[in-house]
Amino acid sequence: MKASYTTIVWAEGNNTGLEVPADIIATLGSSKRPPVIVSLAGYSYRSTVAVMGGVFMIPLSKANREAAGVKGGDQVEVILELDMAPRTVDLPDDLAAALDAKPGARAAFDATAPSMRKEFVRQVESAKAAETRTRRIAAIVEKLIAA
């Protein structure tokens, strides 16, 4: 299911987003927070509709703004498509091994939202030193087990 509309890129400080009219959410025929493929200015990215202050919004990160060539205050044509593809995250081997080594850690990891799994992987992969990477993996595993 696809729907298109025109909106202004909402901006407040460093935060930007795209407001989604309620009738567009209804057209998509899914939940009130559907996973979507967002297309604007010839660029597409995957996201999820959120509700902020009673308004349906899609986040628009700095990287996505730059890739689409848009900024806060710009009028844009938005095409939303319901994203039915599974949200997967490629695990680094050392993180996967640590999750498998601790009972319950892998199940807890798999139960988290895709955005949280992506953030865990980002934390591990952004470590510059091996010791930092090892420490971050241990902290992630402990956090998952404690939850």
Q: What pLDDT is stored for residue 115 in this prediction?
A: 84
Whether residue 83 contacts residue 37, with contact meaning beta carbons closer than 8 Å, is answered with yes
Q: What pLDDT is stored for residue 65 in this prediction?
A: 95
Locate 64 and state its tokens.
């996505």
Average pLDDT, the chain: 93
Could you read off the pLDDT of 106-143 as tens digits, one per residue?
999 999 988 899 999 999 999 999 999 999 999 999 99
31 has pLDDT over 80: no
29 backbone φψ class: left, alpha, beta (φ>0; ψ -120 to 50): left
**C-alpha distances out from residue 126 to 87, 95, 137, Å:** 21, 13, 12
DSSP state, residue 140: H
Hey, which residues does 18 pair with through a beta bridge?
9, 58
Domains of the chain with bracketed CATH: 2-82 (2.40.30.100), 93-146 (no CATH)
Sort 47 into a burial class: Cβ within 10 Å, 0-12 / 13-18 / 19+: buried
Whether residue 40 contacts residue 15, with contact meaning beta carbons closer than 8 Å, is answered with no
End-to-end CA distance of the chain: 36
Distance CA 27, CA 111 (A): 29
**Residue 3: φ, ψ to 5°:** -150, 145
